[in-house]
Chain A
């Protein structure tokens, strides 16, 4: 520091050189490359317990699914001992050509649970970047693996986690003209899959509550679409509003206290809001036309929805009391099924202009970008960290639709691992 100060003085004294400008302007600047490339990351088998191999497999699979990593292992790469987990031989891993390493161990605890330790190392720089331990019931080892993968993903991407989540969707089976549609729930990597409805009634458009403990969805009961409120832990459900109404397109408000939905009557469909604990619904829109697919902003101050009041489906925003309705979509084509991102700055939607594609726009309108290129991609839903949009893709012909996830910054859509066809996916918040 003293030398630099002398340098400044010397420079200012004007000693025979061209540049006499203040230090900050002259400071050399190094520019990093921003290469779009995956990070090679090794995930060896975790020592200490047999489940350590499965833990490593789940971590590697989770990291691969982010689209940011090329995981190596757990098969085919050297293991290590519990003692080495926090102190890997960085030169050996450098020789192997990896930039990062996930290590750890699994140990039984006195209380019958297991400890899963997770370390993330920067192999290139030869240092540890993060560590965390997780105590879980032995049967819940997957949770620890997802948490470890989230730790790695977050630390190396700067983004919030999203891998330790569940996905609810409409599982579709059978021929196109007699298709069974049931609500199904699974972990984000496809494991722990189970059906929540038996399939007698066609069930569609499920959405999680903000804390992930409830769902709203639509079931065609008594030959009518009706919104149901479903408790995930108990399986209990009830009609959102009593009586014999056509209701659909339900979403929770960000505080979980209210549900916005559509009700159709007399050839007109409007948006209503009702308390999740019961009561009379309040009407928010009344324009002639089909107003549907409402979605709250994460701060609860606005609702985006679609309406064909102008003649074609377009996007509008309004206050939660229905005031201030104004249009925000102005590109060519039609816009449907808007969803506000958890970060609050983007709205995803289905863009219809010939094919159906998933797009995003700035929450105030404008800045539209199309993310997918299918024939019929629709029904977007956000990952809790706003980095990915899930949707379903139909193809021409009779096959059921499939779920996909596309990175919001652009890139290839990856198919989601469902056991059967699926549509209308919704992401839970990150599990506790």
Chain B
């Protein structure tokens, strides 16, 4: 029931949006599950929750091959493999217009904590820019950084570090 409304909304919005930017928004009020617009003046931490969508995440991985791209040490440039992966992700995003994505940058442990927060954001930003260049509307993408707080590989060696230097595309509502 809810999905129908969403898809209907999206269909209307797409149609309307295709006609020009200044169209009136759809008359159907947003459903409860639609992402609440963040109140720009709120300082309540609880106003910021974000909901992941695991089923769609799995679909992204299946269709695009990977939800993650990788980086060299202290680097945030995209190599050819990363570009190819991101291009495939972009196609998926365009085919699934009713969701957003959180592009999340990570760093390996061989950097200090706060610098790695910044480095993670650079990586996520680079991936996001590439997706936008592939046609994904920037309003559907948010960028974030986990610094070195969420490694996937637990070793203290080059192999593990290489796996942790990444930008992941997380499908969110």
Q: Encode contact with B along A201-223: 1 for CB under 8 Å, 0 otherwise.
A: 01011000000000000111111
- Are the C-beta atoms of A262 and B122 separated by less than 8 Å? no
Within 8 Å of chain B (Cβ to Cβ): is A224?
A: yes
- Are the C-beta atoms of A293 and B115 separated by less than 8 Å? yes
Q: Which residues of B contact A292 (CB under 8 A)?
A: 114-115, 117-118
Q: Which residues of A contact B110 (CB under 8 A)?
A: 376
- Are the C-beta atoms of B113 and A205 separated by less than 8 Å? yes
Given A223-B102, A376-B109, decide whether A176 and B114 contact each other with a Cβ distance below 8 A.
no
CB distance from A253 to the nearest CB of B (A): 18
**Within the assembled complex, what's the spacing in Å between the Cα atoms of A181 and B149?**
9
User: How many of A's residues come within 8 Å of B, CB to CB?
Assistant: 57
Q: Which residues of B contact A228 (CB under 8 A)?
A: 45
Within 8 Å of chain A (Cβ to Cβ): is B17?
A: no
- Are the C-beta atoms of A223 and B50 separated by less than 8 Å? yes
Within 8 Å of chain A (Cβ to Cβ): is B9?
A: no
Question: What range describes how many residues of B lie at the interface?
Answer: 35 or more
Q: Which residues of A contact B159 (CB under 8 A)?
A: none
Q: Which residues of B contact A242 (CB under 8 A)?
A: 39-43
Cβ contact of A237, chosen from B41, B45, B125, B147, cutoff 8 A: B45
**Within the assembled complex, what's the spacing in Å between the Cα atoms of A323 and B21?**
42
**Within the assembled complex, what's the spacing in Å between the Cα atoms of A264 and B43?**
18
- Are the C-beta atoms of B113 and A424 separated by less than 8 Å? yes
Cβ contact of A243, chosen from B38, B76, B146, cutoff 8 A: B38
Given A222-B50, A239-B43, decide whether A177 and B117 contact each other with a Cβ distance below 8 A.
no
- Are the C-beta atoms of B45 and A221 separated by less than 8 Å? yes
**Within the assembled complex, what's the spacing in Å between the Cα atoms of A222 and B113?**
20
Cβ contact of A290, chosen from B48, B102, B118, cutoff 8 A: B118
User: Of the 9-residue stretches A63-71, A390-398, A406-414, which lies at the interface with chain B?
Assistant: A390-398
- Are the C-beta atoms of B48 and A221 separated by less than 8 Å? yes
Within 8 Å of chain B (Cβ to Cβ): is A33?
A: no
- Are the C-beta atoms of A337 and B112 separated by less than 8 Å? yes
**Within the assembled complex, what's the spacing in Å between the Cα atoms of A218 and B145?**
12
A-B contact count (CB 8 A): 138
- Are the C-beta atoms of A337 and B153 separated by less than 8 Å? no
Q: Which residues of A contact B126 (CB under 8 A)?
A: 267
Residue of A nearest to B52 (CB): A223
CB distance from A414 to the nearest CB of B (A): 22
Residue with the greatest number of chain B CB neighbours at <10 A, chosen from A264, A278, A313: A264
- Are the C-beta atoms of B114 and A262 separated by less than 8 Å? yes
- Are the C-beta atoms of A308 and B150 separated by less than 8 Å? no
Q: Which residues of B contact A194 (CB under 8 A)?
A: none
Q: Encode contact with A along B138-153: 1 for CB under 8 Å, 0 otherwise.
A: 0000111111011111
Q: Encode contact with B along A153-181: 1 for CB under 8 Å, 0 otherwise.
A: 00000000000000000000001110101
Within 8 Å of chain A (Cβ to Cβ): is B49?
A: yes
Residue of A nearest to B153 (CB): A177
Q: Which residues of A contact B48 (CB under 8 A)?
A: 221-222, 224, 226, 244
**Within the assembled complex, what's the spacing in Å between the Cα atoms of A242 and B48?**
10
The secondary-structure label for the interface of chain A is: strand
Cβ contact of B152, chosen from A177, A238, A243, A378, cutoff 8 A: A177
CB distance from A85 to the nearest CB of B (A): 48
Q: Encode contact with B along A301-341: 1 for CB under 8 Å, 0 otherwise.
A: 00000101000010000000000000000000000110000
Within 102-160 of B, Cβ neighbours of A (below 8 Å) are at: 102, 104, 109-110, 112-115, 117-119, 121-122, 125-126, 129, 142-147, 149-156
**Within the assembled complex, what's the spacing in Å between the Cα atoms of A77 and B151?**
52
CB distance from A357 to the nearest CB of B (A): 12
**Within the assembled complex, what's the spacing in Å between the Cα atoms of A176 and B149?**
9
- Are the C-beta atoms of A225 and B117 separated by less than 8 Å? yes
CB distance from A351 to the nearest CB of B (A): 10
CB distance from A158 to the nearest CB of B (A): 34
Given A177-B153, A239-B43, A239-B44, decide whether A267 and B115 contact each other with a Cβ distance below 8 A.
no
Q: Encode contact with A along B45-64: 1 for CB under 8 Å, 0 otherwise.
A: 10011100000000000000
- Are the C-beta atoms of B145 and A246 separated by less than 8 Å? yes
Within 8 Å of chain A (Cβ to Cβ): is B93?
A: no
A-B contact pairs, 7 of them (CB 8 A): A176-B154, A177-B150, A202-B149, A221-B48, A239-B44, A241-B43, A278-B43
Could you tell me which A residues sit within 8 Å of B by CB distance?
175-177, 179, 181, 202, 204-205, 218-226, 228, 237-244, 246, 248-249, 262, 264-269, 278, 290, 292-293, 306, 308, 313, 336-337, 350, 352, 356, 376, 378-379, 394, 396-398, 423-424
Could you tell me which B residues sit within 8 Å of A by CB distance?
38-45, 48-50, 76, 102, 104, 109-110, 112-115, 117-119, 121-122, 125-126, 129, 142-147, 149-156, 170, 172
